[in-house]
Amino acid sequence: MTVEQYDLIIVGGGPIGLACAIEAQKKKLKYLIIEKGAIVNSIFNYPLYMTFFSTAERLEIGNIPFNCLAPKPGRQEALEYYRNIHRYFDFSIHLFEKVTQVIKQENLLFKIATNKSQYEAKNVVIATGFYDIPIHMNVKGEELSHVRHYYKEAHEYAFRNIVVVGANNSSVDAALECWRKGANVTMVIRKSEINNRVKYWVKPDIENRIAEGSIKAYFESNITEIHENEVEIDTPNGKVKIESDFILALTGYKPDLTFLEKMGIQLSDDERKVPTYNPETMETNVTGLFLAGVVCGGMETHKWFIENSRVHANMIVDYITSK
């Protein structure tokens, strides 16, 4: 079987992967994006009514304007924008194809294996984001079917007892939306307050709902066990049990660190698990293997966003073409 060879293979078809492809096109590199799901798959899997923290112009790639009537774009507008980006640039992209292995061969080319085919490339960019793997609570009952680690919309939770775990943007958005659709919402929060990184126009809303008692919150608390119809919570005032029809364990997500390690990328020897890369070129400790976007932060998933990692595309392609 003849294996097609590329100058650059980009693993991940999110905004930063697309930005890398745009730069590769400009420099006339033979490239391919391989994406395991739909185009900008992570944004597709966001809650239906999610609003970005960034303004539209900070989400732009390829110097293509992102026109948006609202002050902040939502999920639907972002999907429309990035679909139009694909229409404009006509990317070389394989959707719904999952990369399973990236190996540096003795001939210095990378062999990229997927669930559908094999490829070779002189250079590889990993732009896989961090939304794939939920951070689990590791408590008894977490595997039950009414425990959810992703949130789409509030309708199915209306008029039910909902426990929302966490105090970041995803948790706060879910708690407010479910409450507004008629759910009885209780939040379980490990820290003593709502996270300061919560969107500035949403944070007062959730704090006021908690203060007035519309949404109940247990601070400095953790779930210790989940049952079919109730949940046990360890609070500063002792253990409590409350009724629960659904648990939204929105405790965050992490990149596929095992995938990075299998490629030979070294991770920091602490809880941050930051991958090794040159901040001037984005090249990892494996020559020809680059990182772009949120995946660069390891477990520090709040460090990189679309708006501040778009520059990775230029850095990587400029370095590849200068060699």
Q: Could you read off the pLDDT of 202-258 as tens digits, one per residue?
A: 999 999 999 999 999 999 999 999 999 999 999 999 999 999 999 999 999 999 999
Backbone angles phi, psi at 170, to 5 degrees: -65, -40
Backbone angles phi, psi at 305, to 5 degrees: -130, 175
DSSP 252: -
User: What percentage of residues in the chain have a pLDDT greater than 90?
Assistant: 94
pLDDT digit string, tens, across residues 48-62: 999 998 999 999 999
Which amino acid is residue 296, in one-letter code?
C
Which amino acid is residue 175, in one-letter code?
A
Residue 2 has pLDDT above 90, yes or no: no
**In which residue are the tokens 């200068």 written?**
322
Nearest to 59 by CA among 19, 3, 106: 19
> Which string of DSSP letters, residue by residue, matches 101-157?
EEEE-TTSPEEEEESS-EEEEEEEEE---STTEE-----BTTTSTTEES----SGGG
Task: Confirm if 215 and 175 have CB atoms less than 8 A apart.
Answer: yes
User: What percentage of residues in the chain have a pLDDT greater than 70?
Assistant: 100
Distances (CA, A) of 288 to 36, 57, 90, 118: 22, 31, 25, 18
User: Residues 318, 321, 322, 323: is their CA dihedral positive or negative?
Assistant: positive
Element (H, E) at 11: strand 4-11
pLDDT of residue 285: 98
pLDDT of residue 302: 86
Kindly indicate the confidence band of residue 320, based on its pLDDT and cuts at 50, 70 and 90. Answer: very high
Mean pLDDT, the chain, whole residue set: 96
pTM: 0.93
State whether residue 12 is helix, strand or coil. coil
pLDDT of residue 214: 98
Q: What's the CA angle centered on 153, arms 148 and 154, to 5 degrees? A: 90
**209 burial level (CB within 10 Å; 0-12, 13-18, 19+):** buried
Mean pLDDT within 186-198: 96
pLDDT of residue 1: 65
Task: Confirm if 104 and 271 have CB atoms less than 8 A apart.
Answer: no
Residue 297 has pLDDT above 90, yes or no: yes
Element (H, E) at 4: strand 4-11
